[in-house]
Amino acid sequence: MRAARRIGVLVAGLALVAGCGTSPTTETVDVGSTTTTTSTSTTVDAPSTTEQPVPSTTTTAPTTVPPSTIPPTTAPPTTARPPSTAGGSVFVLGDSALLGARETVPAALPGWQVVFDAVGSRRLPQAIEVLRARRSEIGAVAVIQQGNNYLESEGSFGAQIDEAMRVLDGVDRVVWLTVAEKWPSRVEINQHIRAAAGRWPQIVVAEWAPLIAAHPEYAEDMLHLSASGRIAIAELIAGAVTG
């Protein structure tokens, strides 16, 4: 037993001596591959690239307007007589509303021969008889102021105007004054006067009605003229005669 132990020690010592004289043996132990990957998040600050607004380059095509196919408007020929020349004759016929202008009317028509015939309460049927009686004295222009004393029993005022115009056949210009619309029936009188201008091209309507309505000082009772009213009506008549 003791011998066996000695032999074992000897063998071990020999082995140790032999190991010191040789290269060491490297033992590789394969314990399996374990790869650990650490993910590193890297943040890169990119330079600022703020986008500048891009100017609009939209191009609008010019609008082309097609040529108009509507024919040009042609003004209808006037039916009024041409203006009268100074130095002619004017026959003025009226009632008491015009009587106060017996001096201002001739003064407003210098160079004209003015025949003035106005009496109070005159109605158009009576005035027509005066026109017949004095027809030879009536030249190129006549002025008629009637309607303030109209009586419905004497028939249509429009028909009376037509009769007066037949008497004045051949007169170049006939001026009819509208009357103050003091009563509703006088509104109808003025409508007849304006309508007659459409039937008789030589008629020129002188609008006294709106003037007296706008200026009550021209006649306190809307009929008989004040000093300013006499001037105003004379200027209205002169404009209608010469205009």
pLDDT in tens, 20-52: 343 333 333 233 333 333 333 333 333 333 344
CA 209, 214, 218, 220 dihedral sign is positive
Whole-number Cα distances in Å, 194 to 111, 175, 217: 29, 11, 25
**pLDDT score of 219:** 97
Residue 239 has pLDDT above 80, yes or no: yes
Name the pTM for this structure: 0.67
Contact 190, 197 (CB under 8 A): no
What is the residue extent of each domain of the chain? 89-242
Question: Higher model confidence: residue 212 or residue 87?
Answer: 212
Contact 89, 112 (CB under 8 A): yes
The CATH architecture assigned to 89-242 reads: 3-Layer(aba) Sandwich (3.40)
